[in-house]
Amino acid sequence: MIQHKDTNRVLFLDNLRYLMVLLVVILHSAASYSNLVPWWCVREANEVSAFFDALLLFFDVFLMPVLFFIAGYFAISSFQKKGVWLFLRRKFRCLGLPLLIGIPLMSPVFPYIYHYTRNSLFNDMSFWESWLNYMKSAGDLRIGTIYTVDQFSHFHLWFMSLLLFFFIIFALYAGKKRWHEASIPIHSSGDISEKSVLIMLAGVGGISTLSAFVANLIFASPANPEPWVSVANVLQFQPVKVVSYLLYFGMGICAFYGNWFTDNKIPGHPAIWILSCVLLSCCLMAILKHLMASFSITLLFIFLLVRSFLCVSFLCAFTLWAARHWNRPSHFDSLLALNSYHIYITHFIIVILLQLLLTGWTNGQVLIKFGMISLASILISYGISHYAIRPYPRLSVAGIYAVFIIILTTLHPAGS
């Protein structure tokens, strides 16, 4: 298993992480053309919406669980080098500070564009007024479901706030166990065998199914099948998925602890897991078709069961394939891996602005628009990260805020 020369980074996992981030960009680029997200700020009806529905459906199965797994995998080595407080300080700097900077800049744009594309709020309210009203709602410390786009939301930055919460839980537990005082790295296979790993994978699939099923019964409704919940506007997540995210984060920790990849602990060949992904994907689509035609609790449970084990299959397929075939140094991979974090942070606003811009191209093919938005968003967010944020972080933040303030004070509704 190849690692970076000066750190404990594992090349194929860094590569997988940037791949997942790029797929997140593609997922958000497709959202404008799908029927699955009617609340998306820019909507464009099209004849191939079924393609985008399927793309969102399958990407949503594995993207975030894989990212949480990778974050969990690297948690122990980072913790051992820094200890409790330095570890938490670094996580607050890397995750908490961007949240405080990014949410006021990006989140209020979404509802403003939402109302603009639906010819409502935009005719009566300037961006400054809209921004001010939106940010006032940040002080609402209630716990409950998010019902409208006008409620305070982290949008895509929910991942960072939830991950920070997971890191806090991990650091407190690891500190209590004094892992940072270990004389040797906690990286031993011990009694962990292929059978143990397989049991863990099955357990994660099973618990994910049960937690999603219970959350559906409690929180979901026909009008809001996958609701978002806000906890005092500090944490925001989907109850249907949050337990599985915690499980995959924990499984990443176990994978590091048990030396899964250097000792080939995940059973099976990548081809077997890929075949499993194909078969379960076909089953998922067939069950979903019946579920949409005639809803039943039994079908819902089967759908969630297949979805949960499809996610497990995707994780094994990706990690096993990447460990064998994508674990060597590459300048291209290194650049994308180094910039993937800032690509994730910056891409969202770029995607929705490009989607809005291309609504004016009325004769354009939707698939071409989708491709243009995906590629341009990746390139622009990479450029911002590589040439601005990483080399000049403070200057970049100051410049972004300066531009934002200009827009905030000059953008007014038509005719005002």
User: How confident is the model over 12-34, as pLDDT tens digits?
Assistant: 999 999 999 999 999 999 999 99
pLDDT digits (tens, 9 = 90+) for 228-283: 999 999 999 999 999 999 999 999 999 998 888 877 788 889 999 999 999 999 99
Token representation of residue 401: 């805020």
Percent of the chain with pLDDT over 90: 74
Q: Kindly report the number of other CB atoms within 10 A of residue 412's CB atom.
A: 13
pLDDT for res 162: 98
Q: Which of 18, 70, 59 lies closest to 310, judged by CA?
A: 59
Q: Which residues, listed in sequence order, are joined to residue 322 by a DSSP beta bridge?
A: none
pLDDT for res 6: 44
Q: What is the mean pLDDT of the chain?
A: 91
| Cα torsion through 27, 28, 33, 36, rounded to 10 | 80
Half-sphere exposure of 207 (CA within 13 A, CB side): 14
Per-residue confidence at 184, pLDDT binned at 50, 70, 90?
very low
pLDDT digits (tens, 9 = 90+) for 346-390: 999 999 999 999 999 988 899 999 999 999 999 999 999 999 999
Query: Which is higher by pLDDT, 132 or 179?
Result: 132
> 3-state class of 230 per DSSP?
strand
Q: Which residue has the tokens 């939830």?
A: 162
Compute the distance between CA of residue 286 and CA of residue 281 in angstroms, rounded to an integer: 9
Q: Where are the domains of the chain?
A: 9-408
Q: Which residues, listed in sequence order, are joined to residue 157 by a DSSP beta bridge?
A: none
| DSSP conformational letter for 259 | T
Query: Which is higher by pLDDT, 45 or 9?
Result: 45
pTM exceeds 0.85 for this model: yes
pLDDT digits (tens, 9 = 90+) for 206-222: 999 999 999 999 999 88
